[in-house]
Amino acid sequence: MEKIYEDALLFDFYGELLTEKQRQIFEEVVLCDCSLGEVASEHGVSRQGVHDMVRRCGRLLNSYEEKLGLVQKFLLIKKKAERIRELSGDDEIRTLSDEILEEL
Amino acid sequence: MEKIYEDALLFDFYGELLTEKQRQIFEEVVLCDCSLGEVASEHGVSRQGVHDMVRRCGRLLNSYEEKLGLVQKFLLIKKKAERIRELSGDDEIRTLSDEILEEL
Burial class of residue A37 in the structure, from the number of CB atoms within 10 Å of its CB (0-12 exposed, 13-18 middle, 19+ buried): exposed
Question: Per residue of chain B (104 residues), what is the pLDDT tens digit?
Answer: 688 888 999 999 999 999 999 999 999 999 898 999 999 999 999 999 999 999 999 999 999 999 999 999 888 888 888 888 888 877 888 888 888 888 77
- Report the distance separating Cα A95 and Cα A102, nearest Å: 10
CA A39 to chain CA centroid, nearest Å:
20
SS3 of A26, please?
Answer: helix
Segments making up each domain of chain A, as ranges:
1-68, 70-104
* Alpha helices (runs of H) in chain B, residue ranges in sequence order: 3-14, 20-26, 36-43, 47-68, 70-87, 91-103
- Report the distance separating Cα B61 and Cα B72, nearest Å: 13
Q: Which residue of A has its CA nearest to B13?
A: A68
Kindly state the DSSP code that residue A4 receives in the 8-state scheme.
H
Taking contacts as CB-CB distances below 8 angstroms, the residues of chain B near A88 are 88, 90, 93
- DSSP run (H or E) holding B33: none
Given CB atoms, is B73 within the 8 Å cutoff of chain A? yes
CATH class for domain A1-68? mainly alpha
